[in-house]
Amino acid sequence: MSNSRVVSAVKEADFSETTAWKDFLALIKIGIVNSNFITAFTGLWLAMYFTGTQFLSSIDTMFLTLIGSSLVVAGSCSINNYIDRDIDPLMERTKNRPTVTGRVAPVRALGLGIGFVIFGEIMLFMTTPMAGLIGLFGVFSYVVLYSMWTKRKYASNTIVGSISGAVPPLIGWAAIDPSLGAIPFALFLIMFVWQPPHFYAIAMRRVNEYRAAGVPMLPVVKGFARTKFSMLLWVVALFPLPFLLSELGTAFIVLATILNIGWLVLAIKGYRTKDDHKWATMMFVYSLNYLTIMFTGMVILTFI
Per-10-residue mean pLDDT of the chain, 304 residues long, equals: 39 53 93 96 97 92 98 98 95 91 94 98 98 98 97 96 97 97 96 98 96 96 97 98 96 97 98 95 98 96 91
Which of these, 136, 142, 110, 140, lies nearest to 123 by C-alpha position? 136
Give CA–CA dist 23/67, Å, rounded: 20
Give CA–CA dist 67/119, Å, rounded: 10
Which one-letter amino acid corresponds to residue 70? S
Radius of gyration in angstroms for the set of CA atoms belonging to the chain, rounded to a whole number: 21
Predicted TM-score (pTM) of the model is 0.92
Give CA–CA dist 118/72, Å, rounded: 8
Q: What is the model's pLDDT at position 56?
A: 87
Give CA–CA dist 103/120, Å, rounded: 25
For 248-283, what is the HEC assignment? HCHHHHHHHHHHHHHHHHHHHHCCCCCCHHHHHHHH
What fold does the segment set 18-301 form as a domain? Farnesyl Diphosphate Synthase (1.10.600)
Give CA–CA dist 206/211, Å, rounded: 9
Q: What is the model's pLDDT at position 18?
A: 56
- Per DSSP, 58 falls in state G
Which of these, 100, 139, 38, 14, lies nearest to 30 by C-alpha position? 38
